[in-house]
Amino acid sequence: MEIFLAGTPNVGKSVIFSKLTGIGVISANYPGTTVEFSEGEVKFGQMTIDVVDLPGTYSLSGNSDEERVATNLLFHRRPDSVVLVADATRLERSLVLAFELIESGYNVVVALNMYDLAVKSGLKIDISALEESLMTSVVPTVAVRGEGVDSLLREAIRLRPKSAFRVRYDSHTEEIISELVSMMETSEWDFPIRAVAVRILMGDRAVREKAGRQITEAADSLAMDFERRHQESIESHIQRDRFGEAGRIAAEIISPIDSAERGRKTVSDITLNPITGIPILVAVLATVFLILVFGGGFIETLLVDSYEGVAEGFFDDAKSGASPLVQGVLDGVYISIEAMLAIVIPYILVFYLILSVLEDTGYLVRVVSLLDGIMHRMGLHGRAVIPMVVGYGCNIPALLATRTMGSKRERIILAVLITIAIPCSAQTAIIIGALGNYSGAEWALLIFAILILLLGLLGFALHKTIRFEASQLLLEVPELRRPTLSQTLRKTGIRIGEFLTIAFPLLLVGSIILEVMMAEGILQRLVDPAEPFMTGVLGLPAVAVIALVFGILRKEMALQMLIVLFGTSDLSVALDAQQMFVFALVMAIFMPCIAALAVLVREFGVKDAAAITAASIALALTFGAVANLVL
């Protein structure tokens, strides 16, 4: 048995999914958090039920990349039942999607989520009247606390006749629908034929493809005739009638009436007013930077000192009398753990904590609105801000999040900017953890300034070379919410967990190999050929090339490898401030890590991925060389 969770963006589908399956999925207070679907299982008695969490979509005929993920799955996999997760405080919008799902013949159960918020704001929702209108079950839920989720599951797997509810469109539209219906064979479709006709008229690509040219051409000429006679498109009429119906139902089942008026008012929001919003944005960014530098540095010292105090003696004991090979392995293990403590825990953890708070408050969407005008000058719209900010954590989710952009070209511009000019948390760890810590915060700030300048220039240059119209921002701005401690910790936990399980084994193996190679004297022979370039052009010690190469596996490994190579976590002994600066700058721009590269290939194809990689290596080395010359 298979259940889909569908709904408009930012209604809490992923939270319900987590509660049902126990699988941790990242959720946040902005539309478009989920761009890929997650799948999980839940046991109910003897049954095993597959649950799929779909990305949010406003309509079944949406044609943007992110919406297509949801609509394609719904189109091809025909789930046994679809749970429409609705926002109880903004019911009308969700109802429209419910109409579409019911019209398309899915077995729909409605989860009236955030029911507590609706009750708190004084709304009374007549649930049985809603069930009667929609001719299906409606279950109030409070997903964040898990309330109602069990009964929701019970309702979703219960056998029931499909809802016979249909929106009636205006007479001319209905006429066109019946004309199309009479032209098609019911047996060829898994959907009610009426829905097929409507979706063809709405421009649904999957349905049109299946319907064939004859039908779509007939539909188009009918639609054109409609438009000629009404001077208005048939899509407008269809959606207008759906929203009209939703409004009618909402007015009938929600009381008191004046609450509708109350719902219309939104609290004035200083983060959305440019005069106050821009200074707030600057303050937020500065705070994030300061917390990263000082908070991260403080935790690092604490961890490294206590680790050295505890473990150094232990490892020294183990090493004494062992063969050089075993000593190499032990050194590798010792240093890997130290590198983890020095970098991952302090900077990456702190960054993810901050990101989680920014996401859950809904503040990021304010930033999107504030910066949309500026982003347009880079050929992007404001939504690009979110993948960018996510990219400061890790490039992989950021590259996936580029799907929220409208067109392929926008996605590519954004992908280039993310891989080249946005340092991920590992690169930030290098910039702040090494450079900021040993050479001073002003050096780290200088790198961030260079990167932001590069971001602007690169964006502007790409916008000028790849000529096209950027697609336009149209985004719901969620209310600001207070982030909860448990959610923040849970999310940070998931992210750090993913990070550790991938990064630590790689780091461990890498360090052991390196130590062994050093012990056996192989390393020097590999490093020598790179020396003229590394020392001559970049002014770095030749061994740094190893760090650069390992940085391809994972970015933070570059720094960890430096620690391994020099045998100390106090890098100021081995590199002076200028060298550290050059190294950090090269690493910040340098090619994406292997995992990000894989995502690039998958999302954009080999050619574009190779081009982005080549560009990033060339830019990184050029910047490094210039920095070496200037300093």
Partner 1 sequence: MAKTTDIANVLEVAPASVTQMLHKLCRQGYVKHEPYRGTILSRRGRRIARRIARKHRLLERFLSDMIGIEPEDGHDQACRMEHALSNEAEEALCKMMNHPATCPNGKRIPKCERGIPCEDCTRKALKLSDVDEGRTATISHLVSKDKDELCRTLAMGLVPGATVTVEKKMPLGGPIIVNLKGTRVAIARSIGDALRMVEAA
Q: Which distant-in-sequence residues (6+ apart) come within 8 Å of 21 by Cβ?
A: 40, 41, 42, 51
What three-state secondary structure class fits 204? Answer: coil
Torsion angle of C-alpha atoms 12, 17, 19, 20, degrees rounded to 10: 140
Centroid of chain to Cα 329: 38
Give the H or E element holding residue 531.
Answer: helix 531-531
Report d(CA 535, CA 540) in Å as an integer.
5
Both tokens assigned to 300 = 């690092």
| Residue 220 binds partner 1 (CB under 8 A) | no
Q: Nearer to partner 1 by C-beta: 64 or 151?
A: 64
| Residue 413 binds partner 1 (CB under 8 A) | no
Q: Near partner 1 by CB under 8 A, which window of 167-175, 210-218, 287-295, 510-518?
A: 167-175
Both tokens assigned to 484 = 């909860």
- The answer to whether 138 touches 110, Cβ cutoff 8 Å, is yes
Query: Minimal distance in Å, beta carbon 143 to partner 1?
Result: 19
Q: In 212-295, which residue ranges form alpha helices assigned H by DSSP? A: 213-230, 234-253, 257-264, 274-290
Q: Nearer to partner 1 by C-beta: 316 or 469?
A: 469
Query: Minimal distance in Å, beta carbon 502 to partner 1?
Result: 35
Q: Nearer to partner 1 by C-beta: 2 or 235?
A: 235
| Residue 159 binds partner 1 (CB under 8 A) | no
**Site residue total, partner 1 (CB under 8 A):** 58
Q: Give the burial class of 300: count Cβ atoms within 10 A of its Cβ; 0-12 exposed, 13-18 middle, 19 or more buried.
A: buried
| Residue 58 binds partner 1 (CB under 8 A) | yes
Candidates 41, 174, 305, 576: give the one binding partner 1 (CB under 8 A). Answer: 174
Report d(CA 296, CA 119) in Å as an integer.
42
Both tokens assigned to 471 = 């697609």
Candidates 39, 232, 520, 528: give the one binding partner 1 (CB under 8 A). Answer: 232
Cis, bond preceding 31 (omega within 30 deg of 0): no
| Residue 471 binds partner 1 (CB under 8 A) | yes
Q: Near partner 1 by CB under 8 A, which window of 149-157, 158-166, 209-217, 470-478?
A: 470-478
Q: Near partner 1 by CB under 8 A, which window of 85-93, 412-420, 455-463, 532-540?
A: 85-93
Query: Minimal distance in Å, beta carbon 190 to partner 1?
Result: 23
CA max distance for the chain: 94
Candidates 46, 266, 320, 486: give the one binding partner 1 (CB under 8 A). Answer: 266
Report d(CA 373, CA 379) in Å as an integer.
10
Q: What are phi and psi of 476, to 5 degrees?
A: -75, 140
Report d(CA 270, CA 475) in Å as an integer.
18
DSSP string, 417-471: HHHHHS--HHHHIIIIIIIIHHH-HHHHHHHHHHHHHHHHHHHHHHHHHS--PPP
| Residue 370 binds partner 1 (CB under 8 A) | yes
| Residue 128 binds partner 1 (CB under 8 A) | no
Candidates 187, 231, 465, 486: give the one binding partner 1 (CB under 8 A). Answer: 231
Residue type at 575? L
Report d(CA 435, CA 441) in Å as an integer.
8
Query: Minimal distance in Å, beta carbon 347 to partner 1?
Result: 32
Report d(CA 393, CA 385) in Å as an integer.
13
Q: Nearer to partner 1 by C-beta: 292 or 470?
A: 470
Q: Nearer to partner 1 by C-beta: 43 or 229?
A: 229
Give the H or E element holding residue 163.
Answer: none
Q: Nearer to partner 1 by C-beta: 408 or 490?
A: 408
Candidates 477, 496, 526, 549: give the one binding partner 1 (CB under 8 A). Answer: 477
- The answer to whether 565 touches 551, Cβ cutoff 8 Å, is no
| Residue 271 binds partner 1 (CB under 8 A) | no
Query: Minimal distance in Å, beta carbon 441 to partner 1?
Result: 31
Query: Minimal distance in Å, beta carbon 473 to partner 1?
Result: 4
- The answer to whether 631 touches 540, Cβ cutoff 8 Å, is no
| Residue 467 binds partner 1 (CB under 8 A) | no
| Residue 257 binds partner 1 (CB under 8 A) | no
Candidates 76, 264, 482, 607: give the one binding partner 1 (CB under 8 A). Answer: 264
Query: Minimal distance in Å, beta carbon 419 to partner 1?
Result: 26
| Residue 374 binds partner 1 (CB under 8 A) | yes
Rg (CA), the chain: 28
Candidates 16, 102, 144, 202: give the one binding partner 1 (CB under 8 A). Answer: 202
Length of the chain: 631
| Residue 206 binds partner 1 (CB under 8 A) | no
Residue type at 607? K
Judged by CB under 8 A, the chain residues 273 through 292 that form the site for partner 1 are 273-274
Q: Near partner 1 by CB under 8 A, which window of 39-47, 170-178, 206-214, 511-519?
A: 170-178
Q: Which of 87, 92, 24, 93 is nearest to 53 (CA)?
A: 24
Query: Minimal distance in Å, beta carbon 355 to partner 1?
Result: 21
Both tokens assigned to 59 = 């309509």
Report d(CA 342, CA 569) in Å as an integer.
8
Judged by CB under 8 A, the chain residues 389 through 408 that form the site for partner 1 are none
Candidates 26, 52, 96, 380: give the one binding partner 1 (CB under 8 A). Answer: 96
Candidates 166, 194, 230, 319: give the one binding partner 1 (CB under 8 A). Answer: 230
Candidates 47, 164, 257, 474: give the one binding partner 1 (CB under 8 A). Answer: 474
Q: Nearer to partner 1 by C-beta: 7 or 332?
A: 7
Q: Kindly list the residues in this chain that would bind partner 1 in the complex (CB under 8 A).
A: 58-59, 61-64, 89-90, 92-93, 96, 168-172, 174, 202-203, 229-233, 235-237, 239-240, 243-244, 263-266, 272-274, 365, 368-374, 376, 381-382, 471-479
